[in-house]
Amino acid sequence: REKRMVYGEPQYFRLHGVMGYDYSYTDEDLVSLSAWVKGKPSYLLFNNNTMKEDAIKFMKLKECLHALP
């Protein structure tokens, strides 16, 4: 099932996990999320059991992607 995003400035994402609160976001999930927020002011709230770890992993991934040419 595909969900449609509503665009605006700034963007706000509240992420409960793909399969619920026990879900840990994969690198592939976070790369896709990075594409959604690229170049736009965005707020992300990871609201799942691994929220801290997922947020840190996302920030590190964004740094690595930003460093690519």
Tens of pLDDT, residues 1-48: 677 766 657 888 898 888 888 999 999 999 999 888 888 888 889 988
Q: Is the per-residue pLDDT at 54 higher than 90?
A: yes
The rounded distance, in Å, linking the Cα atoms of 25 and 57 is 9
pTM, rounded to two decimals: 0.73
The rounded distance, in Å, linking the Cα atoms of 49 and 65 is 25
Q: What are phi and psi of 25, to 5 degrees?
A: -70, 135
Q: What's the confidence (pLDDT) of residue 5? A: 65
Size (the chain), residues: 69
- Which residues does 46 contact at the CB level (< 8 Å), separation at least 6? 15, 25, 52, 54, 55, 58
Q: Is the per-residue pLDDT at 52 higher than 80?
A: yes
The rounded distance, in Å, linking the Cα atoms of 47 and 65 is 23
